[in-house]
Amino acid sequence: MKRLSRLLLALAAVLPVARAGEAETPPRTLLVEVRDIPAEAQSGEGAFAYNDYNRQRIVSLVRNHAMVLSTPAEVATLREQGFAPEIIMESDDELTLYRRALYGPTLEPDPVYHTYEQILARAAELQAAHPELMVRTQIGETTQFQRPIYAFRISNDATRAHDRPAVLFDGCHHADEVMGAEIVLALMERLVTGYGKDPQVTHWLDTLEIFLVPVVNVDGHHYVTSGHDPRWRKNARDVNGDGVTGVFPEGVDVNRGYSYNWAMGGTADPNGASFRGAHPFSEAENRAMRRLAGLRQFLLSISYHSQGEVIFYPWAWGAMAAPDDKVIKRIAADVASRITRMDGEGTYAIAPGGPSSQSYPWFYGRRGVIDMIIETGKGSHLFPPEDVPGIVAENLKGTVAVLDNAAGPGLSVKVTDAFTGEPLAAEVWLPRVDNETVDRRRSDAHFGRARRLLDPGTYYLVVSRDGYKTAVLPEVTIGADGWTELVVELHAEQ
């Protein structure tokens, strides 16, 4: 405890709070390494409580080991208090200090992190070797540089759409949260190469459609993985219109640009880390994801971010939980329980997120998709190379839970025209479960299919479409396993 007290006193000097009339802290020109930071100092009001939105001082904090920007006076204070901060680099260029802190001694990204071009090249190799298992579709292009954004459909016959549950995994809404791309790429590798060899993988591909978007924010991801700037979070939009791109902190936060309660999320400040843009779906990256959601009705969706070792799910809205709260929490807890934390002490946590502007409230509230954000790793976005394989491997265990939960229990409704037998897009909803916070679920036009994960029990179902008589099924019983299949024939109004 004496050492902790000394540390807190020292860091109070290292991380001063400016007061009215006091001189501002001089530029921090030193990158300092501090080791063996007690757990108490890393949480709550501790001086080393890591804030990944504000890395002006604490750049990273991985396994009790911090990289800190400091002034000479702050370093001297630490030494006076009995600590041994090691000066790693001195530079008047702030970006150089960040590069050293996050990229390492070479000031360049480690090869363990893949560029977008490398991801696409590996995907092309897998597709060429297994053309029946994976198909690439361009869902859009980036806002600033018009780079293509791709989704990959994986199944035992990926050349055509199937009437099956569909699951989506995506990475890198935020440019510097590169672990998402690595996890999605590793999942792609496992699925495509494991079919016919791994019984679990074979079952998934025989019964599901799995969609992968390794990188949503392609322009921003390029800035990080090319070595341009490891701090980059947003996309590459030239917000001020001066014709100059790649100047930090320009851009729009792609994960604050969805239309569900858009004005409640992020910030209107263009320099803010969570700048939400000019209007909902102002960014092409968001429109690409919206297009993908329009092409396929997803059952479950995972969006990978960093950091925190927690899964955020929809939602906490005052005292009101999401209509599917019990099911969502059950699945989130199952996924989290499979992923061991970096320190080996327990597994990921789960927590409800806010109902605004991000992917998970939009996918859930507008499209009926149980979408969750998984915050991978702890204490950084760019992790030391030796930590990357472990984080990827643990998160692949979480994908097992996601894909297994796509087997139900739940309700699978096929809506058809009673006269022609043709599939119909219709509202398929549970009025005693749903409320006005969510749009009504719909069957898709291609198959007339609507699936919904539910706990076992009896439900009141309503199926309706303009021009047809509404069908009411007051007692639909959902079993403990698999899908309860229903065909609902709608009769045209006379």
pLDDT tens-place string over residues 7-45: 434 444 444 444 444 456 789 999 999 999 888 878 887
Question: CB within 8 A of 170, min separation 6: which ones?
Answer: 180, 184, 212, 213, 214, 216, 289, 301, 302, 303, 304, 359
Q: What is the pLDDT of residue 41?
A: 78
Question: CB within 8 A of 361, min separation 6: which ones?
Answer: 258, 260, 261, 314, 315, 353, 354, 355
DSSP 55: -
Task: Provide mean pLDDT across the span 315-331.
Answer: 95
pLDDT at position 363 over 70? yes
Average pLDDT of the chain is 93
Q: What is the dihedral of CA 9, 15, 18, 24, to 10 degrees?
A: 130
Domains of the chain: 2-103 (no CATH), 116-405 (3.40.630.10), 410-490 (2.60.40.1120)
> Sheet of 58-62: strands edge to edge?
58-62, 65-70, 30-34, 86-90
DSSP 83: -
Contact 403, 204 (CB under 8 A): yes
Q: What is the pLDDT of residue 3?
A: 43
Sign of CA dihedral 424, 426, 428, 431: negative
Q: What is the pLDDT of residue 79?
A: 80
pLDDT tens by residue, 451-462: 999 999 999 999
Phi, psi dihedral angles at 156 (to 5 degrees): -70, -15
Task: Provide mean pLDDT across the span 155-180.
Answer: 98
Question: CB within 8 A of 273, min separation 6: which ones?
Answer: 53, 54, 233, 234, 249, 253, 267
Q: What is the pLDDT of residue 65?
A: 93
Contact 172, 253 (CB under 8 A): no
Question: CB within 8 A of 225, min separation 6: which ones?
Answer: 109, 113, 114, 115, 116, 178
Residue 81 — pLDDT band, cuts 50, 70, 90?
low
Report the C-alpha gap between 260 and 438 in whole angstroms: 10
% helix, strand, coil for the chain, step of 5: 30, 25, 45
pLDDT at position 2 over 50? no
Q: What is the pLDDT of residue 50?
A: 83
pLDDT at position 307 over 60? yes
H-helix segments, 104-216? 116-129, 179-194, 199-207
Share of the chain above pLDDT 90, in %: 87
Contact 150, 242 (CB under 8 A): no
Q: What is the pLDDT of residue 20?
A: 42
Give the number of other CB atoms < 10 A from CB of residue 487: 11
The least confident of 14-18, 34-38, 154-158, 163-167 is 14-18
Q: What is the pLDDT of residue 47?
A: 67
Contact 217, 173 (CB under 8 A): yes
Report the C-alpha gap between 154 and 214 in whole angstroms: 13
